[in-house]
Structure 1
Amino acid sequence: MAGLRRDRDSGALARKRIALPALRRTCAQALGAFPMTWLSRILGRERRASETRIQSDDPFIAEWFGLNGGSGAHVDPQRASGLATAGACIAVISQALAAVPLNVYRRAGNGGRERATEHPLFAVLHDAPNGVMTAFEAREMLIASLLISGNAYAVLDWNARGQVTALHPIDPGRVAVERLESGRLRYRVTDRNGRLRIYLQDEILHLRYRLARDGVMGLSPIQLARETFNLALTQQETASGLAAKGNRPSGALVFPNAMGGEKKDAALDKLRAKIEANTVTSNVMVLDGGAEWKSFSMTAKDAEFLESRKLTNLDICRIWGVPPTVVGILDHGTYSNVEMESRALVVRCLAPMARRLEQAMNVALLPTGSRRAFFVEHDLAGLLRGDMKARYESYRIGREWGWLSPNEIRGWENLPEIDGGDEYLSPLNMTPLDERNAGVED
């Protein structure tokens, strides 16, 4: 009996060993649409415990913080973003992209698309990503973080069906990124209470401005152009110093004859009291005894200071690809080029940034199986329509040449559909070549 019991126990153990791989394969097939992190945790391939980290002596750390030499070796991104031109560029890009619709589309069988308003991700991106932010506020925060620090992060909430139900933006300064031995990423986030939380790659939306050579972190545009921002900050400090002194230059009081120590000190005290006095007549001085004022510093005009600041502001616009007239630099602005530069903003600046965001969101917010049927995309058509006359003229061309219907046009203008509005016109003077040849032969 004891031998029979041992045989029965060993057979059960063998069946368990055989069934375990099969169970894992079944779980993998059943969870194919779920985020990879859940499947990896079930199969034991990915853990939150750390065995591989980015070391503090990594050469990319110095590059990331801008410590590799140069007269502008380090520039605080938050301080640099406070410059008037830099703040305007960041506001233009972040607000413009946050204002346009960001929709979830379903691929149609005829090659078209339709808005997937019933998908949970649609409400997250279009209405409210969480309980305390609107979609505009969350997207503006993410894009502004991306343009300042080069990275933007948001914690994702998933439901049991493998769909994103909430999105929580976090401060990039509280996030540390690590690469695991598997090549995937892990994120260490310090919350407001100082507690450390570990997130795996599929639990974080990570937006990057430009990849560094390590392929992990994004590079800050402010640090990439730190010499330009260092010059801009220095010029601003110089202007602030001049303004604090009432734009009074430093100089020397020259007398034709030698003066004693007491007379010299008395003359300097009277001159200093006169210059620094906050009275209406403090700028009026009487110099007798052959005294002459010699200035040590050049005026702002002589040093081309104002022109230099204008050139620096233009350089800051070039960093983000924003046309100068869009941020209020109208020195060379005309009626015609202002309109063209507004279109250039959409084509050369907003469209590439929108594509960067869309591809990152498609990978992070939609599992592999869902990406075959759904995708995320901005609707930039409204930014390119121009004024009402140009918009209606384009509608007329599309309607007369047969690729637009009245209901499609009314939908773009937020008007209700009408009966018979789905019909397309066909120009009478345009016929297929084979039909024309057939008519000649007859």
Structure 2
Amino acid sequence: MNEAAVLKNQPAVRKVTTFIAESVASVPIHLHRRISDNDRERVTDHALALALREPLPRMTSVRFWHDVMMDRLIHDRYCIVWAFDRDERLTLTRIPAKRTKFYGDGFGDVRRIRVAMPDGSTVKLEPSQCVYDVGYSVGSSPNGLSPIETLSDILDESREAVGYRRSVWQNGARIPQVVRRPATAPKWSKEARSRFMRGLEAYRRGGGKEGKWLLLEDDMEITGASASAFRPKDTLDLEGRKLTDIEVAAAYHVPPELVGSREGTYSNIDAFQKMLYGPVLGHHFARNEQAINAQLVPDVTDGDDPIYAEYAIEAKMRGSFLDQAKVGQTVVGRPTMTVNEWRARMNMSAVDGGDELIVPMNVTVGGQASPTDVPGRPADDE
């Protein structure tokens, strides 16, 4: 099946894959250095950190990782070539999945990568030059199995249904009514009947008079059609599209409510949103992180430098500012912002003495554990 045609002509596939790709690409990848088991530091001046922020000159990381994710979601594989340019800057170049083919040793281990160039030539790449990921392959060739292949029957059925509904809308009557001519009317001549039929054709789609009132000849009348006449709702257009959307979302392990394929309540939508950057997209983050740390980090860093890449997922999983303020106050046991920090958020000027963190009088060593405690509350051991 032509994956490009599917992405172009199947709204359900486009909806689900772009949702996943944009959600993953919007999370930045940070570089960290491990100091100890309980201590990490953010690395921002390393060549790899710059490449993760800007893979190529003037290319944003969101656009780059969006395209990489689309390769894996549509073709079940992706390939990135890394290199140092003449300015000793580390660059990351995405090779479109449709131009790559992986060759293995019969056990699924990639040994070489062949790239079909636009001019018809081919280029061989060593795996050590690339960051790549391949899904599960059913054969001996390690090229993955596109989800589009698994969905092909459902997508073909959807395409046929859309074609049928389009034909019905093009050829069916715009109103379920019948023109009657009484048997006692004067006999029609061929010229008169042909003239009437030609005029009637003008009221169909593309005839130029659709939507206007039909001018009848003498003794003719318009009556309602029978109950078996075509009705637009009989095509089940909306139901068919929803079913296809749900099947595609399920194939990519995404709750249909998140992509608008199925209606949900406020409570379950809120729960699905909290799951988005955990169980729903967690395996995408893990696969990309492990590919970078296993195939790229050792080759572009000092072997003794414990550097690793990690998605900043916590930035997406933070609650509202009100939720953060409540949790922070409870965990720390005191306010977490100074007066001037708050005034800066409100676009107000600083005041004298506003740079000190206020500690409430009821928060002291041996006193209440949190300013949110209720005065006079009995102790737990009582």
Which range, TM-score by smaller chain?
0.7 to 0.9
Question: CA distance change for structure 1 residues 217 and 296 in 2, over 3 Å: closer, same or farther?
Answer: farther
Q: Aligned partners of 2:149 and 2:101: how far apart in 1?
A: 18
Cα-to-partner distance string for 1:154-181 (whole Å, 9 max, x where unaligned): 1121589xx9921101211111221258
Kindly indicate whether the alpha-carbon contact (under 8 Å) linking 1:156 and 1:164 is maintained by their aligned counterparts in 2. no
Find the counterpart in structure 1 of residue 133 from structure 2.
Answer: 207
Measured after TM superposition, the shift of residue 129 of structure 1 is 0.9
Aligned to 2:233: 301
1:271 and 2:271 aligned: no
How far 1:237 moved relative to its partner? 3.2
1:96 Cα deviation after fit: 1.9
Q: How far apart are the structure 2 equivalents of 1:180 and 1:159?
A: 32
Q: Is 2:255 aligned against 1:363?
A: no
1:143, distance to aligned residue in structure 2 (A): 0.8
1:155–1:203 Cα contact (<8 Å) kept: yes
**Distance verdict in 2 for CA 1:286–1:347, change over 3 Å:** farther
Q: Larger helix proportion, structure 1 or 2? A: 1
Task: Confirm or deny that 1:114 pairs with 2:41.
Answer: yes
Aligned residue-pair number: 341
The residue correspondences of 1:68-107 to structure 2 (distance < 5 A) are: 74=1, 76-82=2-8, 83-107=10-34
Q: 84, 90, 94: which one pairs with 1:165? A: 90
Pairing of 1:189-338 with structure 2 (within 5 A): 189-214=115-140, 216-242=142-168, 244=170, 248=174, 268-276=197-205, 277-279=207-209, 281-282=211-212, 284=214, 286=216, 298-329=230-261, 332-338=263-269
CA contact (8 A) 2:176 2:230 kept: no
1:390 equivalent in structure 2:
323
TM-score of the pair, normalised by structure 1: 0.64
C-alpha distance in 2, partners of 1:99/1:427?
45
Q: 1:135 to 1:298 in 2, by over 3 A?
A: same
Question: Does 2:111 align with 1:185?
Answer: yes
The amino acid across from 2:102 in the alignment is V
2:62 pairs with 1:136: yes
In the aligned structure 1, how far is the partner of 2:237 from the partner of 2:49? 51
Distance 1:274 1:389 in 2: 61
Of 233-242 and 338-347, more deviation after overlay is shown by 233-242
TM-score if structure 2 supplies the norm length?
0.73
Q: Distance between the aligned counterparts of 1:328 and 1:201, measured in 2?
A: 40
Is the contact made by 1:275 and 1:283 (CA closer than 8 Å) also made in structure 2?
Answer: no
Quote the offset at 1:337 in angstroms: 2.5
Q: Which residue of 2 aligns with 1:376?
A: 309
**Which residue type is aligned with residue 373 of structure 1?**
P
Q: Is the 8 A contact 1:321 1:348 kept in 2?
A: no
Partners of 2:336 and 2:357 within 8 A in 1: no
Shift of 1:101: 1.6
Say what the alpha-carbon RMSD is for the aligned residues. Answer: 4.2
Q: Is the 8 A contact 2:173 2:204 kept in 1?
A: no
Structure 1 window deviating more from structure 2 (237-246 vs 181-190): it is 237-246
Match in the other structure for 1:20: none
Q: Which runs of 5+ in 1 are unaligned?
A: 1-73, 431-442
